[in-house]
């Protein structure tokens, strides 16, 4: 009889599969809902429902009935809501679908069109309204049947609502969005001198808002106008600076239109760029302890106003802040810093798994790029060269959003890394008591007392981080155990070579080892190369290491070798028999070149030795 712990492990695996399948089903139901909506079909299809229920056995009927009822409610929400779109001149990567998903149940599509196609799209009755982005804001102004007052003042439209009679009403919610971020961040405008960088549509919207809020003097600064970057000294008494240019926008993170050096009267900086969340200009302003406002907050606010127009609702106090929090929860990177052995990679995996985010471990990326662990690279090329390489990895990784980033322990040694982490993320200091720290597999600390190092670095960790997470628990490491082709035939396949014990016996043995060592494991077996490659790739965000018995693939599979290289997890290779005493072709494996240790000829005991090696 199986041990209850093993049975519960298997139940947990089944539950994970059920959850994944329900998510997959929900995506398909969304597609079905949109198809039914486009074709005018009813939500309920009795024949289809009976067809599904007939397939279920008597024990599953109630479960399927609950799923079908939930599915119908979900479809009703989608079908009864409107359909809206974002019109642009080309294919764009936009946050608008994500943001609007928090504002309502309506469908929201990206609609790139040529200028010739623009009028017909606006007349398309399949859409109940649109948001408009560049380059069509002024063009749509001329195509609306009626306009709200702010559109006349600004000369452009960014939101269109189809009325019951089919006519189009134009609005500009950018005005509301910009005014919102000024007020939200307590930026005092009346009587202030303002410098706006840029002379495009966004700059004039900002100017209109600030004029209405009582700014005493507003200068629009551009490259070629009378007020330009060459005579910037004339405007160094500005009290508010607004960046309405694209300088510093992804993928050119880190660029700034100007330096704030010499603006000694400055009180606040606003940047309408929403990606990255905090531009280099905003970060400089924060370092100077100035008030700031970001483009992402503006984007959410104007989308909320558009949703109010689309759905004929009313924004309640706190609604915008609530959606900003939800969007940031999706977009912000969780950047982990801390001492060697504090558990950044361990905590990163847990956070990534719980929150459904991608884990980016900079040490593993370094290994993948340079083919060496940081410790060996430093010994060969020196710490300064290592810092440059690590900094480049951070530049690449931190441009993206919605990740957990586990950094190397020396990341704080280069001050510019601080703002790389802050541009799209919150910085989390992983703390751990001194006696529990370990520098296993970390860059060397030659001649360095750990206590002195902690005293030296703690003030930096505190200055960089937004908050701390204590990791003083005796955490359980987690490992993936992969068994390759034909191992499922243990006990019947060549028992004179591999023994009489079955694959089930092997699983029970390895699970027992895991319990003895207080570690968590998943055991996986496949006879197919591609499935093993997929499993290794998935392991990158879930496990502390891999034990692999590649069986015959160890001698032939470049694909499995490449997968092990790509994930750069510590790996041990196991063979039940002594490969040195087998046929010549079995004596050296391809995959073994990526292993910390190759263990052969120890039978099941080899798995224990491999797990002990990886567990440290």
Q: Catalytic residues, which ones? A: 498, 575
Question: 611 near 547, Cβ under 8 Å?
Answer: yes
What count of other Cβ atoms lies within 10 Å of the Cβ of residue 247?
17
- What is the Cα–Cα distance from 69 to 478, expressed in whole angstroms? 38
**Cβ atoms of residues 257 and 281 within 8 Å:** yes
28 CB burial (10 A radius; 0-12, 13-18, 19+): exposed
Give start and end residues of each alpha helix (H) in 171-231: 174-184, 201-212
Output helix, strand, coil percentages for the chain, rounded to the nearest 5.
Answer: 50, 15, 35
Specify the pairing of strand 571-575 against strand 597-600: parallel
Reduce the DSSP state of residue 477 to 3 states and report it. Answer: coil
Q: What is the C-alpha separation between 510 and 480, in angstroms, rounded?
A: 11
Closest CA to 202 of 168, 163, 172, 166: 172
Q: How far is CA 123 from CA 142, 160, 163, 165, in A?
A: 14, 11, 12, 12
Asked whether the CA dihedral 152, 154, 155, 161 is positive or negative, the reply is: negative
Q: Give dist(CA 587, CA 574) in Å, integer.
A: 13
Token digits of residue 224: 């070629």
Phi, psi dihedral angles at 371 (to 5 degrees): 70, 20
Pairing of strands 240-243, 291-294: unpaired
Count other Cβ atoms within 10 Å, centred on residue 516: 10
Long-range Cβ contacts of 251-256 (<8 Å, 24+ apart): 251/399, 253/279, 253/280, 253/395, 253/398, 253/399, 253/423, 254/280, 254/395, 254/423, 255/280, 256/280, 256/281, 256/284
Spatial contact of 546 and 522, defined as CB atoms under 8 Å apart: no
Tell me the three state secondary structure of residue 197: strand
C-alpha to C-alpha distance for 47 and 208, rounded to whole angstroms: 59
Alpha helix ranges (H) inside 56-162: 61-80, 96-103, 118-123, 137-141, 149-154
Q: What residues does 334 pair with on adjacent strands? A: 404, 426
Report d(CA 584, CA 591) in Å as an integer: 16
**Secondary structure element (H or E) that encloses residue 467, with its range:** strand 467-470
- Pair 521, 514: CB distance under 8 Å: yes
């Amino acid at each position: 009889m199986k041990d209850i712990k093993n049975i519960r492990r298997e139940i947990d695996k089944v539950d994970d599969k059920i959850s994944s399948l329900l998510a997959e089903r929900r995506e398909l139901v969304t597609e079905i809902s949109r198809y039914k909506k486009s074709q005018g079909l009813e939500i309920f299809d009795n024949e289809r429902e009976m067809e599904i229920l007939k397939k279920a056995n008597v024990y599953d009927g109630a479960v399927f009935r609950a799923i079908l009822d939930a599915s119908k409610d979900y479809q009703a929400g989608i079908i009864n809501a409107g359909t809206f779109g974002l019109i642009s001149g080309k294919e764009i990567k936009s946050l608008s679908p994500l943001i609007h998903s928090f504002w309502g149940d309506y469908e929201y599509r990206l609609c790139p069109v040529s200028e010739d196609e623009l009028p017909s799209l606006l007349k398309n009755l399949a859409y109940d309204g649109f948001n408009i982005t560049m380059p069509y804001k002024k063009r749509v102004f001329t195509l609306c049947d009626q306009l709200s007052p702010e559109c006349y003042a600004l000369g452009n439209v960014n939101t269109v609502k189809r009325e019951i009679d089919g006519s189009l009403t134009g609005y500009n919610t950018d005005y509301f969005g910009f005014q919102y971020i000024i007020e939200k961040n307590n930026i005092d405008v009346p009587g202030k001198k303002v410098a706006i960088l840029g002379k495009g549509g966004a700059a004039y919207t900002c100017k209109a808002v600030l004029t209405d809020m009582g700014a005493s003097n507003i200068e629009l600064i551009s490259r070629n106008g009378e007020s330009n970057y060459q005579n910037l000294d004339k405007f160094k008494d500005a009290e508010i600076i607004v960046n309405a240019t694209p300088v510093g926008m992804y993928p050119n993170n880190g660029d700034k239109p100007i330096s704030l050096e010499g603006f000694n009267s400055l009180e606040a900086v606003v940047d309408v760029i929403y990606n990255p969340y905090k531009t280099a200009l905003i970060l400089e302003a924060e370092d100077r302890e100035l008030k700031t406002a970001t483009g992402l907050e503006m984007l959410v606010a104007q989308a909320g106003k558009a949703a109010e127009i689309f759905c004929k609702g009313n924004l309640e106090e706190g609604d915008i802040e609530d959606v900003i929090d939800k969007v940031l929860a999706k977009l912000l990177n969780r950047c982990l810093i801390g001492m060697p052995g504090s558990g950044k990679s361990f905590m990163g995996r847990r956070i990534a798994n719980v929150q459904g985010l991608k884990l980016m471990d900079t040490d593993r990326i370094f290994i993948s790029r340079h083919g060496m662990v940081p410790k060996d690279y430093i010994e060969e090329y020196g710490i300064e060269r290592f810092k440059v390489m690590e900094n480049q990895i951070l530049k690449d990784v931190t441009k993206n959003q919605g990740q957990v980033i586990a950094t190397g322990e020396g990341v704080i040694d280069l001050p510019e890394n601080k703002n790389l982490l802050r541009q799209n993320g919150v910085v989390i200091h992983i703390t751990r008591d001194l006696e529990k720290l370990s520098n296993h597999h970390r860059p060397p600390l030659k001649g360095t007392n750990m206590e002195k190092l902690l005293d030296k670095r703690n003030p930096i960790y505190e200055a960089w981080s937004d908050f701390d997470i204590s990791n003083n628990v005796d955490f359980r490491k987690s490992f993936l155990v992969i068994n390759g082709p034909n191992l499922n035939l243990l006990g019947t396949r060549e028992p004179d070579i591999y023994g009489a014990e079955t694959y089930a016996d092997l699983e029970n043995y390895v699970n027992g080892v895991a319990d003895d060592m207080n570690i968590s494991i998943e055991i996986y077996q496949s006879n197919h190369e591609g499935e093993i490659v997929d499993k290794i790739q998935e392991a990158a965000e879930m496990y502390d290491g891999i034990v692999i018995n590649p069986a015959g693939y160890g001698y032939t599979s470049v694909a499995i070798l490449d997968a092990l290289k790509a994930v750069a997890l510590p790996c041990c290779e196991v063979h039940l028999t002594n490969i040195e005493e087998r046929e010549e072709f079995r004596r050296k494996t391809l995959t073994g070149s990526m292993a910390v240790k190759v263990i052969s000829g120890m039978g099941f005991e080899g798995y224990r030795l491999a797990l002990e090696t990886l567990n440290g």
